[in-house]
């Protein structure tokens, strides 16, 4: 890798890049005396998730890649920084499909986050930070501005404005209030001897399972209590919070239980959110639990990420760790190693 010296009119060679050789279509940017290289493809066309930092003063490379990066893999993405975070937008994912997500890497906290956005017809071609906001460009225009929570505050040419975005935020706040206070509730669930109120109309629209349950479960209009036996009370409350507010708690055990619930209650979007969170939080001490869970509940994204994680870290597992997998999953691990 070389750097251009404009004053001297020549290129100066830097220390050799220590990441994947023959990298192409990677995202490169400079900020605060550092050079960042992210993603791209190797010589075989595999999409990568590596993040490397080059200190232009110390002339040293540092690997900042996540332990498991399948969900982060991007090629041809654009990138910007505000000094504290890197923002990686667009590009194509590991399947070479257009990505509409924004990946945020907190440099100081070494923390990755992925924000799912609405699908866009045109690919993202630029992004930059301005006045505390992230502006994202696609097609011939700059479309959407995002605040630090990746919530849209302005669409410059797409019809939205600050007032409509403010209305969306207010609507979410109202639903959070509805969930926390449950005014005028018309149904009560009894879970582990706890009575949990809710609103039938909202749950019927948000969840196909409840649409089927309510007519059969309430034969007597005066008896509006339904007993739920297949879930813990705190997890059921987390499920209701998702149905009311569209949010998943940042707690690994709760998210794992919600992944199970997503299949029972036929909630694909909830499964996607749970998988995204768990993939980013795969570790040596939890993959032996999460991998069989993903296999059992058909969470393919999490399952494949766990298999790749196990393969990449196989020298860190002992026989005791592997013995926690059942026979069928051990066969899958062996088959994965042979085919990849």
Asked if residue 253 is part of any domain, the answer here is no
- The structure tokens 């969470």 sit at 299
Q: Quote the Cα angle for 65-67-68, to 5°.
A: 105
State the pLDDT at residue 193: 92
State the pLDDT at residue 231: 93
Of residues 79 and 325, the one with the higher pLDDT is 79
Q: Of 218, 247, 276, which residue constitutes the final position of a domain?
A: 247
**CATH number where 80 lies:** 2.120.10.80
Same domain, 216 and 273: no
Give the 3-state secondary structure of residue 204. Answer: helix
Same domain, 117 and 176: no
Compute the distance between CA of residue 150 and CA of residue 114 in angstroms, rounded to an integer. Answer: 10
Asked if residue 239 is part of any domain, the answer here is yes
Asked if residue 255 is part of any domain, the answer here is no
Same domain, 204 and 80: no
Give the 3-state secondary structure of residue 63. Answer: strand
Q: Of 129, 160, 191, which residue constitutes the final position of a domain?
A: 160
Compute the distance between CA of residue 181 and CA of residue 177 in angstroms, rounded to an integer. Answer: 6
Whether the predicted pLDDT of 22 surpasses 80? no
- For the segment 334-339, the average pLDDT, to the nearest whole number, is 64
**CATH number where 196 lies:** 3.30.710.10
State the pLDDT at residue 185: 92
Asked if residue 177 is part of any domain, the answer here is yes
State the pLDDT at residue 262: 94
Average pLDDT, the chain: 78
Compute the distance between CA of residue 60 and CA of residue 46 in angstroms, rounded to an integer. Answer: 26
- pLDDT tens profile 281-304: 888 888 888 988 998 898 988 888
Whether the predicted pLDDT of 321 surpasses 80? no
Compute the distance between CA of residue 2 and CA of residue 14 in angstroms, rounded to an integer. Answer: 5
Asked if residue 252 is part of any domain, the answer here is no
- For the segment 88-117, the average pLDDT, to the nearest whole number, is 84
Whether the predicted pLDDT of 218 surpasses 90? no
Q: Of 160, 189, 205, which residue constitutes the final position of a domain?
A: 160
Asked if residue 256 is part of any domain, the answer here is no
State the pLDDT at residue 164: 47
Same domain, 138 and 37: yes
- For the segment 299-322, the average pLDDT, to the nearest whole number, is 79
Same domain, 102 and 225: no
CB 98 within 8 A of CB 123: yes
Number of domains in the chain: 3
Alpha-helical (H) ranges within 218-267 are 233-245, 252-264
Same domain, 189 and 118: no
State the pLDDT at residue 157: 36
Of residues 163 and 108, the one with the higher pLDDT is 108
Compute the distance between CA of residue 240 and CA of residue 262 in angstroms, rounded to an integer. Answer: 12
Whether the predicted pLDDT of 119 surpasses 50? yes
Asked if residue 204 is part of any domain, the answer here is yes
Query: Which tokens sit at 51?
Result: 């993040």
Query: Which tokens sit at 36?
Result: 């960042």
Asked if residue 254 is part of any domain, the answer here is no
Same domain, 223 and 281: no
pTM for the whole thing?
A: 0.57
Same domain, 123 and 110: yes
CB 39 within 8 A of CB 26: yes
Same domain, 21 and 100: yes
Compute the distance between CA of residue 330 and CA of residue 314 in angstroms, rounded to an integer. Answer: 13
State the pLDDT at residue 155: 41
Same domain, 133 and 8: yes
Same domain, 14 and 130: yes
Where in the sequence is the domain holding 220, given as residue range(s)? 161-247
Q: How many CB atoms lie within 10 A of CB 126?
A: 13
Give the 3-state secondary structure of residue 14. Answer: coil
State the pLDDT at residue 112: 87
Same domain, 68 and 130: yes
Beta strand segments in the chain, E: 2-5, 10-13, 27-31, 34-38, 51-55, 60-63, 78-81, 85-89, 102-106, 111-115, 124-130, 133-138, 141-146, 152-155, 187-191, 194-198, 225-228
Of residues 229 and 171, the one with the higher pLDDT is 229
Whether the predicted pLDDT of 219 surpasses 60? no
Whether the predicted pLDDT of 168 surpasses 90? no
């Amino acid at each position: 890798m070389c750097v251009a010296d404009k004053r001297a009119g020549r290129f100066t060679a830097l220390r050799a890049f220590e990441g994947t050789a023959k990298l192409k279509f990677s995202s490169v940017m400079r900020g605060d005396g550092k050079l960042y290289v992210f993603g791209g493809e190797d010589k075989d066309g595999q999409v990568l998730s590596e993040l490397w930092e080059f200190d232009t003063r110390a002339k040293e490379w540092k690997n900042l890649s996540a332990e498991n990066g399948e969900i982060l893999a991007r090629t041809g993405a654009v990138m910007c920084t505000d000094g504290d975070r890197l923002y990686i937008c667009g590009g194509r994912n590991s399947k070479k499909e257009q990505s509409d997500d924004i990946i945020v890497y907190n440099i100081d906290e070494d923390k990755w986050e992925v924000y799912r956005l609405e699908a866009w017809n045109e690919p993202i071609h630029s992004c930059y930070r301005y006045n505390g906001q992230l502006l994202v460009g696609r097609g011939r225009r700059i479309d959407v501005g995002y605040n630090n929570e990746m919530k849209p505050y302005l669409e410059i040419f797409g019809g939205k404005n600050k007032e409509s975005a403010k209305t969306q935020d207010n609507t979410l706040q109202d639903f959070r209030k509805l969930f926390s206070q449950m005014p005028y509730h018309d149904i009560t669930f009894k879970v582990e001897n706890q009575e949990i109120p809710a609103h039938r109309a909202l749950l019927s629209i948000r969840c196909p399972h409840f649409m089927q349950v309510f007519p059969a479960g309430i034969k007597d209009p005066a008896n509006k209590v339904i007993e739920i036996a297949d879930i813990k009370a705190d997890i059921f409350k987390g499920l209701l919070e998702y149905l009311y507010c569209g949010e998943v708690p940042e707690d690994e055990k709760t998210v794992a239980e919600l992944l199970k619930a997503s299949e029972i209650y036929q909630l694909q979007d909830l499964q996607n959110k749970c998988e995204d969170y768990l993939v980013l939080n795969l570790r040596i001490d939890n993959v032996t639990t999460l991998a069989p869970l993903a296999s059992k509940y058909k969470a393919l994204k999490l399952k494949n990420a766990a298999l790749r994680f196990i393969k990449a870290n196989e020298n860190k597992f002992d026989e005791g760790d592997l013995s926690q997998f059942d026979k069928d999953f051990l066969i899958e691990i062996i088959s994965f190693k042979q085919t990849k």
